Every structure is written in C-alpha cells, then in structure tokens.
Copies of this chain bind each other. A is one copy, B any other.
Amino acid sequence: MIFLATMPEGEECIGLKEIAVAINSPEAFTAKILQTLVREHLLESIKGPNGGFRISESGKKVSLHRVVEVVDGDSIFTGCALGLQECSEKRPCAVHHKFKAIRDHLTGMMMTTTLEDMAKGIRQGVSYLKY
C-alpha cells in the first residue's frame, strides 16, 4: 500500500511482479494480500495486458490503522497483553492499565498516520520499503 501510494497521481497501474520486487516480498504471497485489499476496495486492479494494481480513491485517504485492520484484523488494537480471552476493564489482567496506555498510543499513531504521510517519506528518500 505504501509503495502504491508513492506512485504519481494518475499513474498507470503497477504489475504484481514490480510490486513484489519493490517491497522484497514473495510474488504469490503478495498477490494474496493484494487480492484482500482489492476486495476491501483499498486498491483497484486491472486485468489483462498492462494490467496491475493502483490505489483507489478511498484507498488514498486511508490510515495505517485501516490497512492493518483489513489485512490482520483488529486483535492488535483490542487484545489482552497477557492473552486473556477478552481485554476488559471489569476483569483486567495484571498489566491492563499500563498496557492499555501503550496500545492506545499505537492505535492513535496508526489512526493518524495516512498512506500519504508514509509515501511522502519514501518519495523524499528519507525512509525505505526494503532493507
């Protein structure tokens, strides 16, 4: 998503192969995740020759939080640090209060960080997509 967000406005779409290379991720595995993102309308895909993927109108504006939610679910934002079946104020685990602060810190960061924010750093060469 970050890579696709770095593409200039109105750019042609980018093929799976090129994406996989750019982010150093296995092609077939990357394809599965891209499919998920298309199903959830964060990406659009074009089949056939010169086909590929590009970020959708709605995808452009989404937060990192939304991308994570679509790909991995929201357990990272709601789960108990110590693995209790449910994180709850009523029946907190031994680190609930301390952990909640950190989890909220993470959630807040991810909700306020947009793909555009991240793409900007990549475009400017101050951050990277692969090691």
Contact = CB atoms under 8 A, between A and B. Distances in A.
B84 A128 contact: yes
A95 B128 CA distance: 10
Interface string A92-131: 1111101101100110010001000011011000111111
A91 interface: yes
Contacts of A96: 127
Interface of A: 2, 64, 82, 84-86, 88, 91-96, 98-99, 101-102, 105-106, 109, 113, 118-119, 121-122, 126-131
6 contacts: A85-B131, A93-B128, A94-B122, A94-B127, A95-B118, A98-B109
B93 A99 contact: no
B98 A113 contact: yes
A95 B68 CA distance: 13
Given A85-B131, A92-B128, A102 B105 contact: yes
A95 B93 CA distance: 29
